[in-house]
Amino acid sequence: MLSRAGLASRRHAEEMIVAGRVEVNGQVVQTLGVRVDPQRDDVRVDGRPVSLHEDHAYLALNKPSGFVTTAHDPQGRPTVMQLVPAVAGLFTVGRLDCESEGLLLFTTDGDWAQRIAHPRYGSAKEYLVEVAGRPKPSTVTRLRQPLELGDGEWSSGADVGVDSSAPDRTLLRVVLYEGRNRQIRRMTEAVGHPVLRLVRVRVGAIHLGALRPGQWRALMHAEIAATAGASVPQSELPAPRGVRRRRSA
């Protein structure tokens, strides 16, 4: 039922059950294959009710800094679920760090979430990243190539360009084709230019656009259907003070 409701893939749903996150009629269920009646049984995940949907929900949020990408936070911090409608079965597609900003997708469609999040389908993720200092051209080249992130973990490389720069900071445009934990922050720290601000502006063909921080919108059909081939959006992140943004050719 969890996968049919769009809450997660079948494999992820099984992991949630084993982890004790699923309740049926008030009782935690950790046995796989338990049958439920969607019309009669009260099924909940992390305390949130689950129901089957004939029509799935697809939302985009401009996540502000300071919100965690989770349904419940043990530390009591505000969560992204407080910024979107209370739709049964709604979950995030991927994550953004608490201090990161920008485009965060939500859906009730588990299959779509898998497609949009998997690099196999071309859903590149684009970020505007303000870093400390002025990286040398050779440093930018290092960011484009496979880079050791620590503990034997390597990135596979990224598309990296310089949008603008000032004496003490630089605005980079970074496109990732993989989703390692805190990848961009670890990449820039590895080359000596830690992140000052990070905003995601695109996922596949879905753009942040004019959404203000904390605002959400429903996705259009064309955005839902597309997973690749999107054009590069205009930045939602201002250039460092006193610097003119380079115009696209």
Query: Looking at residue 44, which CATH number applies to its domain?
Result: 3.10.290.10
| pLDDT band (50, 70, 90) for residue 138 | very high
190-220: burial string, b at 16+ Cβ within 10 Å, e else: bbebebbbbbbbbbbbbbbeebeeeebeebe
Q: Quick one: average pLDDT of 190-211?
A: 95
Q: What is the CATH number of the domain that holds 166?
A: 3.30.70.1560
pTM for the predicted model, two decimal places: 0.71
- Domain end point (choices 36, 52, 68): 52
Range of the domain at 21: 1-52
For residues 103 and 213, the answer to whether their CB atoms sit within 8 Å is no
Q: Tell me: pLDDT of 2 over 70.
A: no
Among 16-20, 137-141, 233-237, which stretch is predicted with the lowest mean pLDDT? 233-237
| Residues 24, 194: Cα–Cα separation, whole Å | 46
Confidence of residue 3 (pLDDT cuts 50, 70, 90): low
For residue 128, is it within any domain? yes
Please report the pLDDT score of residue 155 as a whole number: 87
Is residue 88 pLDDT above 60, yes or no?
yes
- Interatomic CA distance for residues 223 and 247, integer angstroms: 26
pLDDT greater than 70 at residue 119? no
Query: Which residue out of 37, 97, 151, 163 is catalytically annotated?
Result: 97
33-69 tens-digit pLDDT: 788 776 678 888 888 777 654 578 899 999 999 999 9
CA dist 190 and 188 (Å) reads 5
Angle at the Cα of 53 (from 52 to 55), degrees rounded to 5?
170
Mean predicted confidence (pLDDT) in 58-85: 93
* The last residue of a domain, from among 28, 52, 76: 52
pLDDT for the residue numbered 231: 33
Question: Is 97 known to be catalytic?
Answer: yes
Mean pLDDT is highest, among 8-17, 205-214, 223-232, 234-243, for: 205-214
Domain contains 243: no
pLDDT surpasses 70 at 184: yes
Count of domains for the chain: 2
Asked if residue 1 lies in contact with residue 45, where contact means CB atoms within 8 angstroms, the answer is no
| Residue 138 lies inside a defined structural domain of this protein | yes
Q: What is the pLDDT of residue 246?
A: 40
Q: Is 97 inside a domain boundary?
A: no
In the predicted model, what is the mean pLDDT of the chain? 83
Domain membership flag for residue 23: yes
Mean pLDDT of 80-92: 91
For residue 225, being part of any structural domain is answered with no
Q: What percent of the chain has pLDDT over 90?
A: 45
Domain end, chosen from 12, 34, 52, is at 52
* Residue 67 is assigned to a structural domain of this protein: no
In a domain, 249, yes or no: no
